[in-house]
Amino acid sequence: MTKVERALIDPAGGKGSGNLVDGFVVSFLDRDPQTARRVTARIADKFIEENNIEREKEIEGTGEFLEEELRLMKRELEKREENISSFKKSHLGNLPQQADNNLRALDRAEAEIAATNESLQRHSDKLGNLNQEVHLYRTTGQSSFRSGTTHSMEPDPLFRHLKELREKLVKLRAEFWDGYPEIILTKEEIRQTEEELTKVYGPDALRADKTAPLDPVLQDLLKQQSEARTEIALLRQRLEQLRTTKSDLERRLDRSPAVEQELLVLERDYNNLKNNYAMLLDKRLHTRVEENIGKRQKGGKYRILDRANLPGEPAIPNKPRVLVLGFLFGCVLGAGLSVLREHLTPQFRSAEDVEFLLAGPRLLAAIPDFSSLWRTASAPGYFQAPALPRPLSGMTARSQSEIIPSRQPLAERSGSHEIDRRFVAKMFPRSMAAEQYRVAAARLQLLNMTGAPMVVAVTSAIKGEGKTTTVINLGYTLSRDFGKRVLVMDCDFVYPEIKAFLESPVRYGLVDCLRSDIPVQQAMSAFTDVPCWIMPAGEAVADSNELLRAGQLGRVLSQLREEFDYILINAPPILPVATMNVLESHCDFLLLVVRANLTSKQAVKQALGALRADRPIHVILNGVASNSLPSYMLDYAVSESRVAV
């Protein structure tokens, strides 16, 4: 196996940290050391020979390539120059360097427009005065314009010539007929003379009789009037030309920035191309120099610094490398399997998962799966003896008379087999599950620093996570082991299961207390052995949730706070219904039940995000498998089971 590695080599004859150059290390792997040395030396020599040939071809090919690129770039450069020249010709007058000239020309045009407007106004005023004088003279025969001078003026020679032509025409008609050539010429001459007089003096230059000439005063007024009209027409024409020039200059100035930007783009591309052309010229010059030097040099670019030697030890296997790679592979494999397990099992498995993934809520207790207790408790008399009941205290005589519980044993009631399966705190008080409920109850009391009555809502993300089992066992444990007066209230109107734990039936429930003024003592029943009461949900109606929103629950809770130390509310799940969003504002503490190996982590996060009230939230992990519990809990449970009861 041949191997070529790139390395930094000291030209003095080895690898070092001094003046290093780029080089290659060639190696060959073979069972025979002599063969490996000879093959390595041959590979190095062959590499240098082929490198010299390739280098010569590369230099020649580079020169040809650069020549072709220079031709193409020169053609492109000439094309860009023509584009810039055509652009400047097509936008002559709009170029950036002509902006100052355009501004000065615009100033001159505006000044001329102002002067022309003033002159036009003067001539317009003069024409108005002349029109008034003509009208006045024709009406009264008097004129105040140029008094003393106009009456002495002689008539225009054109009038005299017109009179002579008319007299001549009369004589010719007396002698000849109308088609006579001289008569036709005389008529044409009369017509031309009349047009000249009309053009000079206006349409009133000739009277109706066309015989007598104009009065000298009127003749002078009409002539000045015609001259004023002509001057006004010229001034208006000049004003229109100046305005056109001004608009053109303004348009040029407006287009000047856009033209400048386009010109800058063209010049930038041209300059970039010109710089590239200069760089190519420089490279072509260096290529020619290298080509000439390469032809004169006998050696190549590479030389052998260290000849192949006879190896003293085997090259493979490399034990340190194998150990390091094996260690890294094991680490990567372990981390990958851990990540894969997290993706394949998105449920909570142990208490560590809750503490790691839920940064805000704190784990209150981890309840083990106690379904196996019933498989080992089939023999009669197996059930463990519960703790001694504590006397009920703190209630009035009337209250005790109203809530006297039934003495009927729980085992004699119908359906008690299924109930006992969940009531582990009463039926198996010395089991590991009951002990964890005591841990949860103890930690719950530690959270109540003030000792005031506390309302705790026990809920879950989805249905079937064991919140009803948790709330009844937790309430029973608080009463039996800590002597607290506890009320378990059922607020799950969709699946009201707390009523299954009643030792004696009650007529009313929470819904009846919310809808009417029924006393709360008539809507609950107590256990016979502990100070723990149960208030069922009652008969649910369509507006049960509306009763919670209407503020009736706050009234009921304010009455119950005076009677009990802890009020545990069996709340419905958070995600399926919106009842929990109403209940959380009435609670002092929120307890979230999570079922191990069942509840997804995403569902729990969504449930926590759906809560809006700023209340402490703690978690009880329910149904934890024995292999997920710490070993010290299992050892303690085994040793406790061997103690005689």
Banded pLDDT at 629 (limits 50, 70, 90): low
Same domain, 131 and 239: yes
Quick one: how far is CA 446 from the chain centroid?
A: 46
Same domain, 467 and 591: yes
Distance CA 528, CA 505 (A): 13
Residue 177 domain flag: yes
Partners of residue 23 on adjacent β-strands: 7
Distance CA 544, CA 540 (A): 6
pLDDT over 90 percentage in the chain: 12
SS3 state at 184: helix
Banded pLDDT at 375 (limits 50, 70, 90): low
Tell which wins on pLDDT, 380 or 316. 316
Greatest mean pLDDT range, 402-411, 472-481, 509-518, 546-555? 472-481
Position 477 scores a pLDDT of: 94
Residue 56 domain flag: no
Distance CA 620, CA 595 (A): 9
Same domain, 371 and 482: yes
> Looking at 199-208, 342-351, 397-406, which range is the least confident one?
397-406
CB 367 within 8 A of CB 621: yes
Same domain, 118 and 188: yes
Same domain, 241 and 366: no
Read off the DSSP letter of residue 374: T
Position 300 scores a pLDDT of: 54
Same domain, 253 and 367: no
For residue range 399-434, list pLDDT tens digits in order: 333 333 333 443 443 344 445 578 888 888 888 888
Banded pLDDT at 585 (limits 50, 70, 90): confident
Region 506-511 average pLDDT: 89
Per-residue pLDDT at 631 exceeds 60: no
C-beta pairs of 180-185 under 8 Å, 24+ apart in sequence: none
Per-residue pLDDT at 274 exceeds 70: yes
Tell which wins on pLDDT, 343 or 394. 343
Two structure tokens written together for 133: 């004088």
Same domain, 416 and 513: yes
Q: Which residue has the tokens 């007299």?
A: 167
Banded pLDDT at 546 (limits 50, 70, 90): low
Greatest mean pLDDT range, 354-358, 372-376, 484-488? 484-488
Banded pLDDT at 11 (limits 50, 70, 90): low
Region 301-328 average pLDDT: 73
Position 366 scores a pLDDT of: 87
Task: Give whole-number Cα distances, 324 to 318, 327, 338, in Å.
Answer: 10, 5, 21
Distance CA 441, CA 275 (A): 84
Residue 193 domain flag: yes
Position 440 scores a pLDDT of: 92
C-beta pairs of 228-231 under 8 Å, 24+ apart in sequence: 228/123, 228/126, 228/127, 228/130, 229/127, 231/123
Distance CA 222, CA 218 (A): 6
Residue 8 domain flag: no
Greatest mean pLDDT range, 253-257, 393-397, 499-503, 576-580? 499-503
Handedness of CA 466, 472, 476, 478 (dihedral sign): positive
Q: For 176, phi and psi rounded to 5 degrees? A: -125, 165
Instruction: Count CB atoms within 10 A of the CB of residue 635.
Output: 10
Quick one: how far is CA 210 from the chain centroid?
A: 93
For residue range 17-35, list pLDDT tens digits in order: 556 666 667 776 767 777 7
Banded pLDDT at 46 (limits 50, 70, 90): confident
Position 413 scores a pLDDT of: 39
Position 401 scores a pLDDT of: 31
Per-residue pLDDT at 509 exceeds 60: yes
CB-based burial label for 72 (10 Å; 0-12, 13-18, 19+): exposed
Two structure tokens written together for 545: 């949730």
Same domain, 165 and 187: yes
Region 380-391 average pLDDT: 45
Position 265 scores a pLDDT of: 86
Handedness of CA 165, 169, 172, 177 (dihedral sign): positive
Distance CA 56, CA 62 (A): 10
Distance CA 536, CA 499 (A): 5
423 closest CA partner among 484, 370, 481, 385: 370
Per-residue pLDDT at 183 exceeds 90: no
Greatest mean pLDDT range, 157-161, 261-265, 311-315? 261-265
Banded pLDDT at 577 (limits 50, 70, 90): confident
> Looking at 59-73, 207-221, 307-321, 466-480, which range is the least confident one?
207-221
Same domain, 364 and 220: no
Per-residue pLDDT at 238 exceeds 70: yes
Exposure letters 215-231 (e unless 16+ CB within 10 A, then b): bbbbbbbbbbbbebeeb
Task: Give whole-number Cα distances, 481 to 72, 387, 571, in Å.
Answer: 98, 8, 24
Same domain, 323 and 256: no
- Of 243, 263, 283, the residue at which a domain comes to its end is 263
Same domain, 151 and 236: yes
CATH number at residue 610: 3.40.50.300
The predicted model scores a pTM of 0.46
Greatest mean pLDDT range, 86-100, 443-457, 606-620? 443-457
CB 229 within 8 A of CB 127: yes
Residue 389 domain flag: no
Instruction: Count CB atoms within 10 A of the CB of residue 558.
Output: 10
Q: At what angle do helices 631-641 and 432-447 cross, to 10 degrees?
A: 120
Position 439 scores a pLDDT of: 92
Q: Count how many domains the chain has.
A: 3
Handedness of CA 526, 529, 531, 536 (dihedral sign): negative
Region 390-398 average pLDDT: 35
Banded pLDDT at 208 (limits 50, 70, 90): very low
Residue 124 domain flag: yes
Read off the DSSP letter of residue 14: B
> Looking at 276-280, 293-297, 330-334, 561-565, which range is the least confident one?
293-297
CB-based burial label for 623 (10 Å; 0-12, 13-18, 19+): buried
Interacting residues of 481 by C-beta distance below 8 A, sequence separation 6+: 387, 438, 441
Quick one: how far is CA 162 from the chain centroid?
A: 94
Two structure tokens written together for 485: 């007066």
Q: Which residue has the tokens 């390091």?
A: 324
Per-residue pLDDT at 594 exceeds 80: yes
Q: Which residue has the tokens 């208006």?
A: 236
Region 627-643 average pLDDT: 53
Same domain, 451 and 534: yes
Which one-letter amino acid corresponds to residue 539?
A: E
Interacting residues of 233 by C-beta distance below 8 A, sequence separation 6+: none
Length of the chain: 645
For residue range 121-138, list pLDDT tens digits in order: 988 888 888 888 877 877
Per-residue pLDDT at 94 exceeds 80: no
DSSP 280-326: HHHHHHHHHHHHHHHHH--S-S---SS-----SS-----HHHHHHHH
C-alpha R_g of the chain: 59
Position 144 scores a pLDDT of: 59
- Of 326, 346, 366, the residue at which a domain comes to its end is 346
Look up the domain containing 229 and give its range: 101-263
Handedness of CA 623, 629, 632, 636 (dihedral sign): positive
Banded pLDDT at 472 (limits 50, 70, 90): very high
Residue 288 domain flag: no
Banded pLDDT at 363 (limits 50, 70, 90): confident
For residue range 303-313, list pLDDT tens digits in order: 666 676 667 66
Residue 82 domain flag: no
Distance CA 208, CA 202 (A): 14
Per-residue pLDDT at 278 exceeds 70: yes
Region 7-16 average pLDDT: 57
Per-residue pLDDT at 612 exceeds 80: no
